Amino acid sequence: MHRVGGTQQTANLAPANASNVQTDKGFFGQLKVTVVKGVRNILSANYSSIPDNAKLASRNITVLASALHPLFNKRDNDGAKDSGQDFEQALKKASNNPKSMKLFSQINRELEKIQQLQEELSKLYSINDNILRIPGAVKGPRYTEVKAQITECQSVMDGAKQKGTLAQQKFNKTVGPQLKIDFDALQVPEEKRSPESAEDVAKYEKMKTNLLQR
């Protein structure tokens, strides 16, 4: 039979009958094709013009197993595995890394220092406000002393923040995404915390159990 694009030959299919079923199997690319019993009766009601000698057959097409399991790049597999680690697995891994534990301890020390300084500053500001209510007190030694203490606390706090931020940046490079720390969020006082910073603090408290070196 001649068709557009070249010469083709008609396929020889086994005739269907009621007594037995003849099948012809073969592989075409990645598809397994099976020729089974004729189904002429199913279509005869709608297609009355089908010739008597027409042979109809159904094809049971089964995809080979090799087509169902595409190959993945090994690097992609490793990346998916790393990103799929849960919090506990990442925490266990970090607890076996001395560098991660050392940096975490540094972060915790600076956070504790900042918290103490925040409390001290709150007291100093309160004292300063009371002094300002006294006429002429701004020229007295007590006012000068308190102002100097406030300035010193602020300076020490700035230094603690810089050290803590640097330790946090180094720490985040040694752990997975589940354990990364936001140092700024951890400094927020409890009464001023947003839901996001509160979540960061809760995660940090869990991490202290495994990573804090005393």
In the chain, the amino acid numbered 190 is: E
pLDDT at position 55:
46
Report which secondary-structure segment, H or E, holds 197: helix 195-211
Closest listed residue to residue 22, CA positions, set 12, 30, 31, 32: 12
The reported pTM is 0.58
Closest listed residue to residue 168, CA positions, set 184, 183, 149, 189: 183
> How many whole angstroms separate alpha carbon 156 and alpha carbon 48?
97
pLDDT at position 18:
44
> How many whole angstroms separate alpha carbon 147 and alpha carbon 202?
35
pLDDT along the chain (214 residues), means of 10: 48 47 50 47 47 47 43 45 68 93 96 95 95 91 95 97 96 94 89 86 91 76
pLDDT at position 56:
43
3-state secondary structure 87-139: HHHHHHHHHCCHHHHHHHHHHHHHHHHHHHHHHHHHHHHHHHHHHHCCCCHHH
* Residues in Cβ contact with 178 at an 8 Å cutoff, skipping those fewer than 6 apart: 85, 86, 87, 90, 91
Q: pLDDT per residue over 95-107, tens digit each?
A: 999 999 999 999 9
